[in-house]
Chain A
Amino acid sequence: MGGIESADVVVIGAGIIGAACAEALSAAGVRVLVLDRAAPAGATTASGEGNVLLSDKQPGPELELAKASRRRWPQLLDEVRELIGPDLAEVEWDPKGGLVVATGADEMGPLAALTAAQRAAGVEVEDLDAGQAREMEPHLTDQLAAVAHYPDDAQVQPVLATAALLAAVRARGGEVHGGVRADGLVTGRSGEVVGVRTGSDAIPCGAVVNACGPWAGHFSETIGAPIDVLPRRGVVLVTAPMPPFVRRKVYAADYVDAVASAEADLQSSAVVESTRSGTVLIGSSRQRVAFDDDLDVEVLRGLARGAIRLFPGLAAVPVMRAYGGFRPYTPDRLPVIGADARVPGLWHATGHEGAGVGLAAATGLLLADLYTGREPVVDPGPFRVDRPEVALEAGS
């Protein structure tokens, strides 16, 4: 295709993860080109609430990545603002904090165990009594068994954040092309990446990053280096705009289990938060139904019930719309970040499930660290591509 000459690295997928990888690589002086088969930030990224959370992570490698990412996000946004100006870099960053709410006595024990473990891992958690919790969120139910406050939970507008990161890539001389499908790799004599095929053309490059989100599994298969990434469907309800109703991200204590579960069946757990425009977003459901996005009213019903349990006043509020999306799911519930030894020059950055926006800042940094040989921001071992849980045999 005309205009695209060559690049050091071609990033495939212009969602939040692809954008963060491209930004971090371009900041390290790498010549980057980002491709997306459709419009940038139009799929999984556009379906997310923009969570940057510590509260929903159990201690382990994902929490370490989340902590690094939470530290990195404000710095990253400062750097981008410096580069592209405050107007284009306005991405509604909001360190709003989160509340995890146990409404039944049976949820108190598990919540106490979770917060204790998170505290030991360095997460700031505050135990609230019912009075304190309702002072923070006056519309919260009075059926409160236990509430934990996470002051470091934050939110960002994911489409704007992605667009700003891509604008930074362009400002550094990188290129971003929407509506261009990567059909496969061009490999050299010893099987290494020398280019990307797009239709009848090829873009010469030294490396490729697979940042295709829920489609990363499919793409990895077509290029003969399969990884086990599957779509996991989610649906969000959006209310009509209303006067300030909920300030923080508020969710039911069983959410952490739903996120961590490996079940294919529907997992539903109440998550309630507002946006800057005054709408209230209600999640969250998790279902492994391949790429089936047929409406299922039972799923919406479950979301509505969960939200009303947390905030009884929501019952009278109209839902204006619902939208669904697909999260990139891995069997061991950890992202895949790093080089693929099977094809020299092939990298993956995917499998973040519902936490891609939150984990993006550190994921981009980690990938650039590994690519340039710098000291990695976190231990990359748990995310490596050749772990048995995700690396599949070609043709399997």
Chain B
Amino acid sequence: MRRVVVVGAGPAGRAAAAATAAHGVEVVLVDSAPKLGGQYDRQDTRESGDRFALPSGVEYLPDSVVWAVEPAPGGHRVHVRTGPADSPERAGRALETRALVLATGAYDRSLPFPGWDLPGVYTAGAAQALAKSQGIAVGDRVIVAGTGPFLLPVATVLCSVGARVVAILEANDPVTGWMKRPGGAVAGWGKFGELARYSVLLGHHHVPMVRRSAVIAANGTDRLEAVIASRLDHDWNPVAHTERRFEVDAVAIGFGFTPQLELAVAARCDIEGGFVAVNAAQATSVPGVFAAGEITGIGGAELATHEGTIAGTAAAKLLGARVRVPFRAMRHVRSGRRFAAALQSAYPVRPGWKGWLRDDTLVCRCEEVPYGELRRAVGGLDIGGVRSLKLATRAGLGLCQGRVCGRNVAELAGLADAADGFSRRPVAAPVRLGELAEDTPVESER
């Protein structure tokens, strides 16, 4: 049997699976969540039924993680475990495929600041996920801080589950940013309608948006009690005498997104500028591996969907299906990428954040590595290179394996180019030794 394996059931992965199936080629769609949707379309797990339907010919594996991708004759072998993460009985499968589509998405980026390890400090994505999937508000009085349009839907969903959003602090001045790339703004004109709707909703809830401001410290003994916000200059250095204290019990932080590159790196796809490099057919540098969605560049759900359609079609073609060239999706991708580039330049992360840290501020929360220790390794011992830095400081070696801290640690150590070194993880998701020891029959394509 020939089959396409799609990893990730967000907008890009679902579109890829649908496009492949539409050409009569079988698809296995693997996703770690219990329901379709991914981060953007996350569904309420308490409700029965599914908002999304998959065409026939798609075998959907929910609650499934791909923990390894290894080369196999003519393609790749994808190792999957299915079942809740804490279940002792997850079933293992090893799927061989000549056409692998990676749509693993992105997670939101946090920047460290004194007190960011207090309970009550959430990533914007986690706050959104709790609200969407379980109807839970992370706090009664919440500040949403960071940069980028994603802060608006997060604030909106927090209001909808009963939180009082005290303010949205946007570290950039987006109006100036957009003016610099008017072409990009026009390319994504539809997006502005979406953002305008959020603004209206937030207006109803009296949520003020403060530009050029950020949370630069969090206070509290056992959990968050208040945050210190400050005005920022253009480079994000705090402006003196502009500090302001907000009494809140939760803060949601989002500074853009970091692509989830582990599987792409494991498959040896070329990474350019922090994202998987793809051609017009969404093919990566590795034959038989396609990529779609946020791992190829942060551009939102609509762009991801079109990329998924192209990737799924190209994968079907590779397996011998006669396909129609998806011209419409390709046109949307071209304009979507222009919008994405404009988005990136309107909401950059500027270097002044490094000045928010103190020596005792944790840069890696899993391994509790303070900034001072990182400075000792880089300054005192002259350690460079991601691998040695990780081993010398343990930053990025904990449970999240550098997903939260990798980029920040790389930038603090002056190794910004090496940030994807944190994505080199042959075991891409935790797997129990007992599971690893089991014999898993290989499901070959023929």
Query: A residues touching B (Cβ–Cβ < 8 Å)?
Result: 38-42, 45-46, 87-88, 157-160, 163-164, 166-167, 170, 176, 178-179, 237, 239-241, 277, 279, 282, 294-297, 300-301, 304-305, 307-308, 314-324
Q: Is the CB of B434 within 8 A of A176?
A: no
A315–B427 touching, CB < 8 Å:
no
Contacts of A157 in B (CB 8 A): 391-392
B433 touches A39 (CB 8 A): no
Q: Within the complex, what minimum Cβ distance (angstroms) separates A73 from chain B?
A: 19
A residues near B436, Cβ cutoff 8 Å: 237, 300-301, 304, 319
- Report Cα–Cα, A234/B71, bound state, in Å: 18
Q: How far is the CB of B285 from chain A (nearest CB, A)?
A: 15
Find out whether the CB atom of B432 lies under 8 angstroms from the CB atom of A319. Answer: yes
Assess whether B334 is interfacial by the CB under 8 Å rule.
no
Q: How many A-B residue pairs have CB under 8 A?
A: 134
16 contacts between A and B (CB under 8 A): A42-B388, A157-B392, A159-B391, A159-B392, A163-B382, A163-B383, A166-B382, A167-B380, A167-B381, A294-B71, A295-B68, A297-B70, A304-B437, A316-B88, A317-B433, A321-B426
Which of B377, B381, B425, B433: most chain A CB closer than 10 A?
B433
Is B338 at the interface (CB under 8 A from chain A)? no
Which of B77, B88, B384 is packed against the most chain A CB atoms within 10 Å? B384
Contacts of B437 in A (CB 8 A): 301, 304-305, 308, 315
Chain A hits for B325, CB < 8 A? none
B222 CB to nearest A CB, Å? 23
Count, chain B residues at interface, CB 8 A: 39
Given the complex of chains A and B, what is the CA–CA distance between A301 and B439 in angstroms?
8
A243 smallest CB distance to B (angstroms): 15
- B380 contacts A87, C-beta separation under 8 Å: yes
B398 proximal to A (CB < 8 A): yes
Q: Check A159/B388 contact, CB under 8 A, given A164-B381, A319-B432.
A: yes
Residue numbers in A under 8 Å from B79 (CB-CB): 297
Inside 8 A of B397's CB, which chain A residues have their CB?
A: 277, 279
Query: 1/0 contact trace for B351-389 toward A, CB 8 Å?
Result: 000000000000000010000000011001111110110
A241–chain B nearest beta-carbon distance, Å:
7
Query: In the complex, which residue of chain A has the Cβ closest to the Cβ of B437?
Result: A304
In the complex, chain A residues whose CB is within 8 Å of the CB of B88:
316
In the bound complex, residues from chain A placing their C-beta under 8 Å from that of B383 are 39-41, 159, 163
B167 within 8 A of partner (CB) = no
Beyond the given A295-B68, A319-B432, please list 14 additional residue pairs across the A-B interface where CB-CB is below 8 A.
Answer: A39-B383, A39-B384, A40-B388, A46-B387, A87-B380, A159-B383, A167-B380, A170-B382, A178-B384, A240-B399, A297-B68, A301-B436, A308-B437, A318-B431
- Asked whether A315 lies within 8 Å of B391 as measured between CB atoms, the reply is no
Given contacts A241-B398, A295-B70, A297-B77, contact A307 B433 (CB under 8 A): yes
